[in-house]
């Protein structure tokens, strides 16, 4: 079946450090890939997405590249801020149309001043 | 007002009680979902509905039921709550072909 594996957290960084959160997936066919972010006390919101191999999604300084050869979609940011402290979820949609999202377990990021 | 509204936001109840969590949306989306979030387990799909007349079980539907009263309303019921149903519950919607889900702010349920 479909699955998403993320690195365990928490990831603890100082402000302006480089961030990588690893995400790998298992799926048949050509899934779409997503990163969602959950700020404290809130619901999840879409951060970025990629729908085909080699696509790069980007938003708010975050980037992730859809790597089909390594079945990965790692999240990166060059310089994190305290306001980036949140839980980050990698997710996949196995096929277009009416299908559901499968989420990873989430990775908590804590950024200190 | 939020596009996806969940009520109640917080609820404490006792084992054996029936609980209903409600979700309404103003986005005009046809698809609605209920997820459960537990620490270390991420989000797990309970039930989903692609249309008013369509109801589907997710990966952890045992102990839960749903009702799609209208395109904009999707409620989740726990017929007889048990302590391991203590969790944060999220309703979400989607529309079109982007795959993007829009989440409510969550309903925190504690079963004593």
Q: So what's the pLDDT on residue A28?
A: 82
Q: So what's the pLDDT on residue A25?
A: 96
Sequence-distant (6+) residues with CB within 8 A of A48 are A34, A35, A57, A58, A59, A62, A63, A64
Given a cut of 80, whether residue A10 has pLDDT beyond it is yes
Q: So what's the pLDDT on residue A96?
A: 67
Could you give the CA distance from residue A60 to residue A14 in angstroms, rounded to a whole number? 18
Contact B42 A101 (CB under 8 A): no
DSSP A110: E
Over residues B86-97, the pLDDT tens digits come to 999 999 999 887
Asked if residue A10 has a cis previous peptide bond (ω within 30° of 0), the answer is yes
Nearest to B94 by CA among B84, B104, B107, B79: B104
CB pairs under 8 A between A and B: 51
B75: three-class secondary structure by DSSP: strand
φ, ψ dihedrals at A86, nearest 5°? -175, 180
Q: How many CB atoms within 10 Å of residue B1? A: 4
Are B76 and B32 in contact by the 8 Å Cβ rule? The answer is: no
**Chain A residues touching residue B103 (CB < 8 angstroms):** 43-45
Are A48 and A59 in contact by the 8 Å Cβ rule? The answer is: yes
Contact B101 A98 (CB under 8 A): no
CA-to-CA dists, residue A112 to A16, A20, A80, B81, angstroms: 10, 16, 10, 39
Asked if residue B8 has a cis previous peptide bond (ω within 30° of 0), the answer is yes
Residues paired with residue B6 on neighbouring β-strands, in sequence order: B23
Are A11 and A19 in contact by the 8 Å Cβ rule? The answer is: yes
What pLDDT band is residue A30 in, cutting at 50, 70 and 90?
A: confident
**Chain B residues touching residue A41 (CB < 8 angstroms):** 105
**Residue of chain B nearest A44, judged by CA positions:** B103
Q: So what's the pLDDT on residue A97?
A: 64
DSSP B79: S
Using CB atoms, which residue from A41, A42, A89 is nearest to B43? A89
């Amino acid at each position: 079946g479909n699955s998403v594996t993320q690195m365990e957290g928490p990831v603890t960084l100082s402000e302006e450090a480089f961030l990588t959160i690893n995400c790998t997936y298992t799926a048949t066919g050509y899934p779409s890939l997503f990163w969602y972010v959950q700020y404290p006390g809130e619901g999840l919101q879409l951060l970025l997405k990629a729908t085909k191999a080699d696509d790069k999604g980007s938003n708010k300084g975050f980037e992730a590249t859809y790597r089909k050869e390594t079945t990965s979609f790692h999240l990166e940011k060059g310089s994190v801020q305290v306001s980036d402290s949140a839980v980050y979820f990698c997710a996949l949609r196995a096929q277009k149309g009416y299908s559901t999202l499968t989420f990873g377990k989430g990775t908590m990021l804590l950024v200190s001043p | 007002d939020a596009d996806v509204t969940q009520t109640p936001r917080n609820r404490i109840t006792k084992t054996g009680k029936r609980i209903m969590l409600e979700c309404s949306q103003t986005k005009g989306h046809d698809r609605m979902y209920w997820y459960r979030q537990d620490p270390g387990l991420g989000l797990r799909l309970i039930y989903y509905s692609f249309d008013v007349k369509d109801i589907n079980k997710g990966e952890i539907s045992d102990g839960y039921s749903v009702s799609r009263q209208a395109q904009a309303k999707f409620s989740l019921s726990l017929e007889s709550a048990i302590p391991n149903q203590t969790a944060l519950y999220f309703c979400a919607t989607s529309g079109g072909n982007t795959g993007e889900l829009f989440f409510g702010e969550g309903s925190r349920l504690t079963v004593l």
